[in-house]
């Protein structure tokens, strides 16, 4: 046990002490549990492995708080006074707070855990928590949130680029990704083949696509249907 723990702890601590990594890379954990002693223990535990932690006694406290815009996850007690953990999960989904959730519960309740997982929880852990499971879940959560945030950022870039296309270019774009040849497109749009080729090269440049396949993937990400 000791041997298993030590190198890992040292690794975490090294990261914590290093402080060279940005908050975003480190991630942040939000703990929501009504039990003060559990809250304090978890805060200390996650802090000891170099994570930033913020803890809250109730859902309302969490909602009212000013949270840093970094990747993170929520460690959430299933049973909370007032709004329960599950209701909170739904509430977060509606309010587009997409932080991954790790549920913790006093006892394993199958039906609740199934519901929680269906709603997209990362993990459902029972108290007392096994440190490894918690740390793994938290790190997985943060990683996933980081990935999600990158994806969100990429999409935002794509949308911006899409906005920069002229209407004609947009038409050409939508037809190009269906795999049609330029002369077919020219016939469809009643344009010269040369004009279509110019538009096509503009689209490739504006969108930053290296190949036709790259462009098609972008269109897919942006949810642009290929016109038949």
Residue numbers at the binding site for other proteins (CB under 8 A) = 5-6, 9-10, 12-13, 34-35, 37-38, 40-42, 44-45, 47-49, 79, 81-82, 104, 106-107, 127-129, 131
Q: Which residues sit opposite 54 in a β-bridge?
A: 30
Nearer residue to other proteins within complex by CB, 110 or 223: 110
Nearer residue to other proteins within complex by CB, 128 or 225: 128
Residue 188 in tokens: 């469809």
Cβ of residue 13: shortest distance to other proteins, in angstroms?
Answer: 5
Nearer residue to other proteins within complex by CB, 39 or 199: 39
Q: What angle do CA 48, 77, 141 make, to 5 degrees?
A: 55
Cβ of residue 10: shortest distance to other proteins, in angstroms?
Answer: 7
Q: What is the DSSP string of 17-67?
A: HH--S-HHHH-EEEEE-S-HHHHHHHHHHHHHTT-EEEEESSHHHHHHS--
Nearer residue to other proteins within complex by CB, 104 or 186: 104
How are beta strands 72-77 and 52-56 bridged, if at all?
Answer: unpaired
Other Cβ atoms closer than 10 A to 82 = 10
Cβ of residue 142: shortest distance to other proteins, in angstroms?
Answer: 18
Cβ of residue 41: shortest distance to other proteins, in angstroms?
Answer: 4
């Amino acid at each position: 046990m000791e041997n298993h723990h030590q190198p890992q702890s040292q690794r975490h601590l090294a990261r914590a002490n290093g402080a060279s990594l940005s908050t975003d890379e480190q991630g942040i954990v939000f703990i929501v549990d009504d039990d003060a002693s559990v809250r304090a223990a978890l805060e200390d535990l996650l802090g000891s492995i170099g994570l930033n932690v913020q803890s809250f006694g109730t859902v309302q406290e969490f909602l009212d708080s000013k949270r840093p815009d970094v990747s993170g996850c929520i460690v959430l007690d299933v049973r909370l006074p007032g709004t329960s953990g599950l209701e909170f999960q739904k509430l977060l989904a509606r309010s587009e707070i997409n932080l991954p959730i790790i549920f913790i519960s006093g006892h394993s309740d199958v039906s609740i855990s199934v519901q929680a997982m269906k709603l997209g929880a990362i993990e459902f852990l029972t108290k007392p928590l096994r440190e490894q499971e918690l740390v793994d879940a938290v790190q997985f959560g943060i990683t996933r949130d980081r990935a999600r945030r990158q994806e969100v950022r990429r999409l935002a870039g794509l949308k911006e680029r899409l906005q920069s296309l002229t209407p004609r270019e947009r038409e050409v774009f939508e037809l190009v990704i269906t795999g049609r040849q330029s002369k077919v497109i020219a016939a469809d749009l009643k344009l010269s083949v040369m004009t279509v080729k110019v538009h096509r090269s503009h689209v490739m440049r504006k969108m930053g696509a290296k190949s036709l396949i790259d462009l098609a993937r972008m269109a897919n990400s942006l949810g642009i249907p290929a016109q038949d």
